[in-house]
Amino acid sequence: MPDSADAVLEGLDPEQREVATALQGPVCVLAGAGTGKTRAITHRIAYGVRAGILQPSSVLAVTFTNRAAGEMRGRLRQLGAAGVQARTFHSAALRQLQYFWPKAVGGSMPRLVDRKIQLVADAAAACRIRLDRGELRDVTAEIEWSKVTQTVPADYPPAIAKAGRDAPRDPAEIAQIYNVYEDLKRDRSVIDFEDVLLLTVAILQDRHDIADQVRSQYQHFVVDEYQDVSPLQQRLLELWLGDRDNLCVVGDASQTIYSFTGATPDHLLDFRTRHPGATVVKLVRDYRSTPQVVHLANGLLAQARGRAADHRLELVSQREAGPEPVYTEYTDEPAEAEGAARRIRELMDSGVPAAEIAILFRTNAQSETYEQALADAGVPYQLRGAERFFDRPEVRKAGIALRGAARFGGNDSLLDDAPDLPSQVRAVLSGEGWTTQPPAGSGAVRERWESLAALVNLAQDFATARPDATLADLVAELDERANAQHAPTVQGVTLASLHSAKGLEWDVVFLVGVAEGMMPITYAKTDEQIEEERRLLYVGVTRARRYLHVSWALTRAPGGRPNRRPSRFLDGLRPGSAATAGRTAAVGSGGVVRGFTSRPDAAPRRTQRTPARCRVCGRTLTDAGEMKLMRCEGCPSDMDEGLYERLREWRGIQARLSGQPDFCVFTDRTLMAIAEAEPVSPVELSRIPGVLKRKLDRYGADVLAICAGQEVGDGADGE
């Protein structure tokens, strides 16, 4: 413990010292990743307490996670500033609500529900709206977003339209469920976590005597991660402050990655407007990462656009030079996972602790491939922020369905027209929610689909490796994988999504799947969504202290068409790539481009095919659906609508005769591509993506006859 107030300041850099000694009036600390922001604000509080300027009980420091609050309290104790309140917004508000409820409302405070999902389910049932598990989670998230943005049920539809959100259900239905949900809470005398903030705000607004009592208790406020504040949290903070301005906020607009929860960097970026006399300190000395890692992080932000990008911080590494980031292109996703596992095994053998290594990916559904690769390589791992792949409810349920189909498949009409293992798995999982096209937007429904799609892909890969495999063989393989990954792994390599990695750091970071369609994610459409994806990658890069490995795969499965390309965010930064047109790219010092196949003795990778281009505007196509149509989604279509409808009608007949879903005959995209191309021969028809040899043999004569304007019979075989 420092022996004096001045000793608290020892070891701080000039900017951190400026933060620590600015104890009066509004202070805004713009702190880049790894710049010691927690050190700066804890020393600020400790210096004020040790110098007698701040009373410990008059300081309230708020942050967003219990872990961060606990870390802050621990540091303050070590610095001799015990007694300072360091809490999350919810924890601080709950204490005040419990204390003032008898005085403000009377009686006992309503019970706080830990999980609101059952209440949402009851509300949906009361509205006679059926929601599955994934939809329940998504609707619950929409209710939470509405409450933190102070949106009432009647205003939900126009509010999400204005915010550009993709509703998981009809907005009117969600508004109805939200309204009934609020009624149910009142009837049952319960409140949720958002109510804690809302009710505290209401009491402080309506009862000036209580507001004055809170303000007499707390005179100095510190807010960490201020870029993540929601409108409701900002309102509570304003009520705590009153007409005073002893407020210190700390944040980085370039690390705003939770806007889907209602967080906004606007409060941080507008701080000087609201507080014209504020002291503003920028922390840019990066103590976490090497100059090589910092250079890449700066390069990512140099290409960014939008308001947050206008306030980006140029980091300056304070560490010794390290190795350049390694950029690796793989032939397929299993090879990428095996390559990462192999390199991790080498690092561990050379003495790097497993706990100092992380694999970071965009979606939780990507974890299964890496779980398996690490298990095969004998590398212990721990999954952070998500269930293990085979423990997820949708995967367990899918496993039960596949096991039942394997046992009784001979009597299952669903499998009658599924001649091979992959088509059998697709047929079974279509009953569990899998579709050929992913659902729009993000959320639980999308995550569930991704998990089922991973099983479909696994079945395809398994069948490729074992052409004679049966559904029972696949079920046995799934059981073996699940059992192998249930082994306890307390200390191991961290597997985490980029969102759950926020606030953490490792010596070695593998950023995997950094390809178009995954980074940025396919459903990021608007400029704002694309820029948040860029910030998410920035957060991933800045988790690495010394070693950074960035990789992508040209195709999903072995033998697939290599039509993927590295993320646009790496343009101008990885060696051999050109800067994206119209953006100012940082000058990259490079790295190493290496390509690995799944085995050292594997044959060289085939030359990548000429990229597909839109036949209307000429743009390079990367989206699978657009490549099937050979045009951009937004480019005008020359499709024969009548032909398309005749093909759809024919497809419906074939699907009913075979007992399959329509898409098992041909997907909508394939039918659109056929209606646009109007093929006149089997050769022309076979060139359309989605028309494989088996389907050409089975349905080709019918399709060509329909394209020629002829009538076809109703035979299940199309003959």
Specify binding-site residues: 31-38
Biggest distance spanned by C-alpha atoms of the chain: 94
Query: How many Å apart are CA 438 and CA 147, to the nearest integer?
Result: 28
Nearest to 425 by CA among 446, 450, 447, 404: 404
Instruction: Count other Cβ atoms within 10 Å, centred on residue 398.
Output: 25
| Separation between Cα atoms, residue 215 and residue 222, nearest integer Å | 14
CA-wise closest residue to 7 among 84, 78, 72: 78
> DSSP secondary structure string, 168-199?
SS-HHHHHHHHHHHHHHHHHHTEE-HHHHHHH
Half-sphere exposure of 122 (CA within 13 A, CB side): 13
What secondary structure does DSSP assign to 522-554, as a single string? TT--SHHHHHHHHHHHHHHHTTEEEEEEEEEES
**Residue 319 has which token pair?**
């560490």
Secondary structure of 347-388 as H, E, C letters: HHHCCCCHHHEEEEECCHHHHHHHHHHHHHCCCCEEEECCCC
Q: How far is CA 127 from CA 173, 180, 188, 471, in A?
A: 8, 8, 17, 40
Residue 542: count other Cβ atoms within 10 Å of its Cβ.
Answer: 28
Provide the H-helix boundaries in 130-256.
Answer: 133-148, 156-163, 171-188, 193-206, 208-217, 231-241
Task: Tell me which amino acid residue 572 is.
Answer: G
Amino acid at 555: T
3-state secondary structure of 59: strand
Q: Please give the Cα distance from 474 to 292 (Å, whole number).
A: 45
- Using DSSP's 3-state secondary structure scheme, residue 718 falls into coil
Judging by beta carbons within 10 Å of its beta carbon (0-12, 13-18, 19+), is residue 335 exposed, middle or buried? buried
Torsion angle of C-alpha atoms 616, 620, 626, 631, degrees rounded to 10: 10
3-state secondary structure of 603: coil
**Burial of 477 from C-beta contacts in 10 A (0-12 / 13-18 / 19+):** middle
Tokens of 388: 């293990």
Residue numbers in the known binding site for ATP are: 31-38
How far is residue 412 from each of residues 271, 401, 428, 616, measured CA to CA in Å?
A: 64, 12, 10, 45
